[in-house]
Structure 1
Amino acid sequence: MRKTDGLFKLLGLCLLAGILVAGVLFPVVGAAGVASNRASETVDSMSAELANVPPPLVTTITDSAGNQIATLYDQYRIPTASDEINEAMKWALVSTEDRRFYEHHGVDWKGTLRAALSNSAGGDTQGASTLTQQYVKNYLINVIYRDDPVGQQKAQEQSIARKLKEARIAIQLENTMSKDQLLTSYLNVVEFSRKIYGVGAAAQAYFNTTADKLSVTQAALLAGMVNNPPFYDPWSHPDRATERRNLVLDRMVDNLKLSKADAERMKTEPLGVVPGGPSKPASNCVGAGPENGFFCQYVEDYLLSHGMDRNDLYSGGYTIRTTMDQRANHEAKMSAQTQVSKTQKNVANVLSLVRPGKNRHEVVALAANRDYGTDASAGQTTYALPSGVYNTGGAGSSYKIFTSAAAIQNRVMGIYDTIEVPNFYVSNVFTGSTNPRCPIVAQGTRAYCLGNATDYEGGTRTMTLQQALQTSPNTAFVILEERTGMGPIVDMASKLGLRETMLRNLGGGEVKPESKLPGENKTQTAFFGPTDKSPGQGSFTLGVSATSNLEMANVAATILSGGVWCPPTPIAQVQDRDGKPIPISEQPCEQVMDEAAANSLAQGLSKDDLPGGTAAAAAAQVGWNRPMIGKTGTTQSNGSAAFIGGTPQLAGAAMIFRPEGGTGGLCDGGPGNVYTCGEGNMFGGKTPARTWFGAVSKILGPNDPILPLPPSDPRYERVR
């Protein structure tokens, strides 16, 4: 190199050093002053963000009694106060990362200038950042820009502009925060690899302890990791981690915080981390376990559908107390699993339980035979089988509840009025059957006709609506549909509880307007309801479309609440990270059916568990003796079935179906012997009713009073 080149480079570097100091401390005049003032505005804005954007915390979900069932988070962090952090941890960090921490005011000028000159001269990239500057960078990366890769990249780029901005923010922080506050804040925001953030979480995850109980060697390991967490990960790179830990011990000796003899002895100790990887809770509803996971999933889905942002839910540090009764949920799970093996291929048996009420409908249990989890080979699933619209086979004759409700509400028929029950019926209103027994009424169109599961001797007979609900003949309810009209019936289904179900298409999916298939391009309300060209679809009363099991449970709760619909809520209370209650914007309860009509409907549904009823055998098996409402349902080819029931204290629905779809039926060979088959023998009074009674008979024990159903009203007993 020529002497003149060296001289010019030296002058340039000196000028650079002067600009760096001036830029940090003093805005200059003129055009450069305008630029500096703009930079100051940016720095002030970033400083405000550091003060106003809190770090992500873990959200905790509990049962109704406050027992933790799950945690949700993107960053595993346990907030830790200064007096909850061992002094060894603080001195290990200071000795390694910033020995002059208690002497400088946010920027170590010697180190900063040395790094600036080295980087600008093309030498090795050097950081020379103080702990305060590192805190700024870590806060930007791990908090403010945690979901912004571009912002994260800018927060750690090797440039004078970034160093200048970082230094100025550090100086501002040193003027507003004490050294102890800065050190504690740093130790709460920095990453320790594997999405473990802050010393509180690191102590738990690495050593199954708390930050105040960290030993010197444990503190040295953690302090050494902040420089490059993945590189020094003790499970992936134990040799590197050991070497780095020992270096920290040496620096503690140099800083007079540890004797050399103790350091040498400590270097021989093993790393001592928990075997197999960090000890931390699952970051989603899988952590709720195979039994409680479905309820946790519904909590998450419910909050996201009621205005909470997913990022906020997973980072807000909320405490969410749910309405889940853990004993009830356990009994529901055991009953569902007793009837159908958890590993039975393509068979889901689900049970949802809701507490009736005129102010709230609290969900107390959501269960399935399958375990909640990600191991498909073990029969696990993360699909919300009990709460979502996943029964694509339909709920069968349980939909006769809606036909009856609309007929009673509109005084078409009372519960003690009689209706004809022919063995075979050809509708003079509804069309669209593919049954060759049905007459052709137009080119390519057959009438809608159907028969019953069992023929009556002598052909047509009559029975009361209450008797029809107890024995469930199909023909009677198609006749009742004709008299009532499909509009009021379909509308009643939504009002009583099928809010989400009726907005889906026939298969339970989102409506696809571009599809040519009516089953896909319309909501169920539009598909079954009347139009200018059609009176509607009479098959609705036979429950042929996809259905939410939880919503059917809420239908029973609405009837038992005097016709008051409330959203099936899983939320008892939500508190923010400071313990302040957070309101959830839930839909208000609605009087969707005249109370006297709803009470009369309850009496109409009160005979299914008695001799002659479709659920009588299942009720007798558990010695059932409580007044209740009940209705079974079975679909074509016995491919799915349901039982809807309830008492004044507890309402619910049980359904069995093929979650992966497919043709054919379900065969019931008794508890634990249920499987898919070609020609099925499944009915709502079998597996679904046994599941419902098996759980509810144990949940409502001898200490729970036997309550009567509300009485019917003469106005809705006989209207003809």
Structure 2
Amino acid sequence: MPASPRADAPLRTLTCVRMRDGLLKMLGLCLLAGVLVAGILFPVVGAAGVISNEASDTVESMSSDLADEPPPLVTTITDKDGEPIATLYKQYRIPTSPEQISDAMKWALISVEDRRFYSHHGVDWQGTLRAAISNSSGADTQGASTLTQQYVKNYLINVTYRDDQLGQQRAQEQTIARKLKEARIAIQLETKMSKEQILAGYLNVVEFSRQIYGVGAAAHAYFDTTPDKLNVAQSALLAGMVNNPAVNDPWNNPERATERRNAVLDRMVDNRKLSEEDGERIKQEPLGVVPDGPNKPPSNCVGAGPEHGFFCEYVEDYLLEHGMDEDELLTGGYTVRTTLDKVANSAAKESAEEQVSKNQENVANTLSLVKPGKDRHEVVALAANRDYGPDANAGQTEYALPSDIANVTGTGSSYKIFTAAAALEQRKVGIYDTVQAPSSYVSRVFSGSPAPCPFIAPYTRGYCLGNAGTYPSSMSLQQALATSPNTTFVILEEMVGMKPVVDMASKLGMRKTMASNAATGGPVDPNGDSDAVRQSQAQFYGPSENSPGKGSFTLGQSPTSGLELANVAATIMSGGVWCPPTPIGEVTDRDGKPVSIQEEPCEQAVPEGLANTLAVGLSKDDVGGGTSAEAAAAANWKRPMIGKTGTTQNNGSAAFVGATPQLAGVAMVFRPDLPNGGLVDGGPGNVYASAGTSGNMFGGKTPARTWFGAMTKILEGEPVLPLPKSDPAYERSGG
């Protein structure tokens, strides 16, 4: 009779099976560990050795990058005095040295992520095997990566592959190859950096949710403090976020954030960096984060506020147009000291709003100010009645109204400046010579005017025009510039030729404006000698210099940049020296070293005598019967200046060009949204877009009042300087 089985046989059998499986897994893990060590320390020979050596070069390069190359930083935009006005960035990060991080923050992170941090050499083999055994035996999953390895992974994700989703996925994939490479880099890194440097490097790279990177930015955004002042509770919250920032976000998920913070406090107690009593007490404290989300600045020019945002936008556009890459600008940690005068910009903004409400539908009132000079033309202010920002319902816009080619209906008779300058250049007329001002005129140049005009020659129709007021039949050119009869300047345009007039506009400063006409859809091309520019300009004067041109050019119906027109006035007041209107004072990199910006060189656009004489020719607009005399008198204006008003067809837009020896500027009022139609000026604060095509706007009204209102305040206390003296060679045509 067979012996009966023992009662404990099934248990013994199961135990043996488990022991056998455990031994096999242990053996496999030991073999795996051996392979990892061998792969890290001893590259194989032969063909595989070549691959391993190439991989070693990659590892060496990567570890050098982590040791030497800092992560993306915030670029700071300041005013002329170095006061910050905005930040530009892709990752909000404030660089922090090891000494600037509190001990509480360091120990909270070490306790929860890598308690053996100070005893291993980049890879914690003891922790790796322990985690592997635990994970393979069905127990709770344990992490095995050291802080050094996590630094490597976070650097790859947040720095190297920050704009590469596939690269980020590869940096996180659960493969032996990836773990092997990460471990090798970590071991190399520990030979190049101290433990404190690695810890600070990790805390500068890791994300704390919502595009907040690094403990410096997190301390400010979460607690409105600095990293050296982070206490235990704050440190525990931040340390608990790093393994899953989105899930542990304290604003979106305060319960989960509290649970995670308390778990970190427990780990600090276990690691003997916090007493149990203090740990339990701190668990009862609220999270303490700033209310209503993180306290971080906008990542673009919205941060400059409604007043200075237009200037910031011009700075950004200018740097990108002058050789700086967008990614470089947003990640390079530059400090850009601009030429912005906040006092002048505030005065310009205030004056623009006094004339036109910021919420006025379809009316933009802008003011652009430039400082004359023979070596630089610094942009001082760019303002508008509208606020800068994304909320259109609040009267905001992010369209560059004061600097871009935003006024598509033109600036009217302000373009007569170019016709007068071209006539002086050809000695066709001097500023004191008599010019004709008939009440009406039929020009042989073609305009495309809808008004019926008589046939002149085959394929040529006339351009019929009249004056907007009553004028004597003749007057001096200086008086014509002050009173602005249309017929006078179309006649001069015929005398001089269309191409020289158009060329003069470009020479004096309308470079981008003349390179692209928004009405024709032409591309902006800043290269003044390019074919695209010549083709764009040819729309005004035809295929050759002697072709019938567009007679209305001198009446300013072309889309215009207010900033470039202001720079025209600056060129005249600089003795004919054109310089690019620059918003840049100085650019320094993250280390404080100067960065060169390749700006166009200044050039003598017209002879100094011509420019000085043109200034004298433009000096009567604010006095006597000048078109801006009423606005000047209302502002109690007493300074010598040059000035020219302009108004377009149907009174749909208007401008005032003005300058003193210290400051030049242009005020423009126009319809930015629905251009076709008129503007009605009912006095300061009562300007609106008419429902039809008619209006009563003129350059001597809203634009002139805006200019004088701002300039009176800006120049208060400044010396009263005379205009330059005219050159006899340009005073009379026989000079």
Cα separation, partners in 2 of 1:231 and 1:547, compared to 1, 3 Å: same
The answer to whether structure 1 residue 612 and structure 2 residue 630 are counterparts is no
Give, in angstroms, the shift of residue 37 of structure 1.
2.0
Q: Which amino acid aligns with 1:572?
A: G
Per-residue CA distance 1:54-101 (angstroms, 9 max, x = gap): 211111111111111111111111111112111010000000000000
Q: Distance in 2 between matches of 1:568 and 1:210?
A: 39
Superposed counterparts of 1:498-509, under 5 Å: 498-507=510-519, 509=521
The answer to whether structure 1 residue 476 and structure 2 residue 488 are counterparts is yes
Q: Which moved more, 1:4-13 or 1:213-222?
A: 4-13
Per-residue CA distance 1:192-224 (angstroms, 9 max, x = gap): 111111111111110011111111000000010
Q: Which residue does 2:708 correspond to in 1? A: 693
The answer to whether structure 1 residue 645 and structure 2 residue 661 are counterparts is no
Question: Which of 283, 295, 299 matches 2:299?
Answer: 283
Per-residue CA distance 1:478-504 (angstroms, 9 max, x = gap): 000000011111011011011100111
Give, in angstroms, the shift of residue 283 of structure 1.
1.0
The answer to whether structure 1 residue 705 and structure 2 residue 719 are counterparts is yes
Question: Which of 468, 473, 476 matches 1:464?
Answer: 476
For 1:655, what is the secondary structure of its paired residue?
Answer: strand
The answer to whether structure 1 residue 554 and structure 2 residue 567 are counterparts is yes
Question: Which of 220, 230, 236 matches 1:220?
Answer: 236
Give, in angstroms, the shift of residue 444 of structure 1.
7.6
Q: Which residue does 1:525 correspond to in 2? A: 537
Q: Which moved more, 1:21-30 or 1:134-143?
A: 21-30
Q: Distance in 2 between matches of 1:484 and 1:534?
A: 13
For 1:694, what is the secondary structure of its paired residue?
Answer: helix
* Percent of pairs with identical residues: 71
Q: Which amino acid aligns with 1:482?
A: E
Per-residue CA distance 1:345-404 (angstroms, 9 max, x = gap): 010000000000001000100000000011110110011100000000101000000000
Q: Which residue does 1:682 correspond to in 2? A: 697
Q: Which moved more, 1:420-429 or 1:159-168?
A: 420-429
Give, in angstroms, the shift of residue 511 of structure 1.
3.3
Q: Distance in 2 between matches of 1:209 and 1:631?
A: 53
Q: Which residue does 2:7 correspond to in 1? A: none
Give, in angstroms, the shift of residue 121 of structure 1.
9.8
The answer to whether structure 1 residue 717 and structure 2 residue 731 are counterparts is yes
Q: Distance in 1 between matches of 2:466 and 2:395?
A: 38
Cα separation, partners in 2 of 1:512 and 1:327, compared to 1, 3 Å: closer
Per-residue CA distance 1:444-487 (angstroms, 9 max, x = gap): 85311100001447xxx111110110110000000000000111
Q: Which residue does 1:517 correspond to in 2? A: none
Unaligned runs of 5+ in 1: 514-519
Q: Distance in 1 between matches of 2:628 and 2:711?
A: 14
Give, in angstroms, the shift of residue 655 of structure 1.
0.3
Q: Distance in 1 between matches of 2:80 and 2:222?
A: 31
**Would you say the 8 A contact 1:116–1:160 is kept in 2?**
no
Give, in angstroms, the shift of residue 156 of structure 1.
1.1
Q: Which moved more, 1:689-698 or 1:178-187?
A: 178-187
Per-residue CA distance 1:159-207 (angstroms, 9 max, x = gap): 1111100100100111111111111111111111111111111111100
- Tell me the TM-score normalised to structure 1 length: 0.95
Superposed counterparts of 1:99-178, under 5 Å: 99-114=115-130, 127-178=143-194
Superposed counterparts of 1:200-599, under 5 Å: 200-430=216-446, 432-436=448-452, 438-441=453-456, 446-456=461-471, 461-507=473-519, 509-511=521-523, 524-532=536-544, 534-599=547-612
Give, in angstroms, the shift of residue 124 of structure 1.
8.3
Aligned residues: 709
Q: Which amino acid aligns with 2:683?
A: G
Determine which structure has more spread, i.e. the larger CA radius of gyration.
2
Q: Which residue does 1:631 correspond to in 2? A: 644
Q: Which residue does 2:677 correspond to in 1? A: 664
The answer to whether structure 1 residue 89 and structure 2 residue 105 are counterparts is yes
Give, in angstroms, the shift of residue 51 of structure 1.
3.4
Give, in angstroms, the shift of residue 416 of structure 1.
0.7
Give, in angstroms, the shift of residue 282 of structure 1.
1.2
For 2:185, what is the secondary structure of its paired residue?
Answer: helix
Question: Which of 77, 81, 91 matches 1:75?
Answer: 91
Q: Distance in 2 between matches of 1:545 and 1:578?
A: 45
- Tell me the TM-score normalised to structure 2 length: 0.93
Per-residue CA distance 1:102-141 (angstroms, 9 max, x = gap): 1100001123345567889999876410000001111111
Cα separation, partners in 2 of 1:658 and 1:539, compared to 1, 3 Å: same
Q: Distance in 1 between matches of 2:355 and 2:430?
A: 37
**Would you say the 8 A contact 1:431–1:445 is kept in 2?**
no
Give, in angstroms, the shift of residue 31 of structure 1.
3.8
Question: Which of 37, 54, 66 matches 1:38?
Answer: 54
The answer to whether structure 1 residue 192 and structure 2 residue 204 are counterparts is no
Give, in angstroms, the shift of residue 43 of structure 1.
1.2
Unaligned runs of 5+ in 2: 1-13, 526-531
Q: Distance in 2 between matches of 1:549 and 1:539?
A: 19
CA RMSD, 1 decimal: 2.2
Q: Which amino acid aligns with 2:398?
A: T
For 2:644, what is the secondary structure of its paired residue?
Answer: strand
Give, in angstroms, the shift of residue 36 of structure 1.
2.1
**Would you say the 8 A contact 2:422–2:504 is kept in 1?**
yes
Question: Which of 27, 40, 47 matches 1:24?
Answer: 40
Cα separation, partners in 2 of 1:126 and 1:545, compared to 1, 3 Å: farther
Q: Which amino acid aligns with 1:565?
A: W
Give, in angstroms, the shift of residue 147 of structure 1.
1.2
**Would you say the 8 A contact 2:64–2:189 is kept in 1?**
no
**Would you say the 8 A contact 2:101–2:227 is kept in 1?**
yes
Cα separation, partners in 2 of 1:186 and 1:511, compared to 1, 3 Å: closer
**Would you say the 8 A contact 1:17–1:116 is kept in 2?**
no
**Would you say the 8 A contact 1:125–1:158 is kept in 2?**
no
Q: Distance in 2 between matches of 1:94 and 1:172?
A: 20
**Would you say the 8 A contact 1:505–1:521 is kept in 2?**
no
**Would you say the 8 A contact 1:497–1:565 is kept in 2?**
yes
**Would you say the 8 A contact 1:511–1:523 is kept in 2?**
no
Cα separation, partners in 2 of 1:219 and 1:509, compared to 1, 3 Å: farther
Q: Which residue does 1:516 correspond to in 2? A: none
Q: Distance in 2 between matches of 1:70 and 1:627?
A: 37
**Would you say the 8 A contact 2:307–2:346 is kept in 1?**
yes
For 1:71, what is the secondary structure of its paired residue?
Answer: strand
Q: Which moved more, 1:525-534 or 1:74-83?
A: 525-534
Q: Which amino acid aligns with 1:608?
A: D
Per-residue CA distance 1:5-46 (angstroms, 9 max, x = gap): 969877655543321221122112334333322321221222
Q: Which amino acid aligns with 1:389?
A: I
Q: Which moved more, 1:172-181 or 1:614-623?
A: 172-181
Q: Which amino acid aligns with 2:170?
A: K
Q: Distance in 1 between matches of 2:96 and 2:448?
A: 67
Cα separation, partners in 2 of 1:133 and 1:435, compared to 1, 3 Å: same
**Would you say the 8 A contact 1:642–1:688 is kept in 2?**
yes
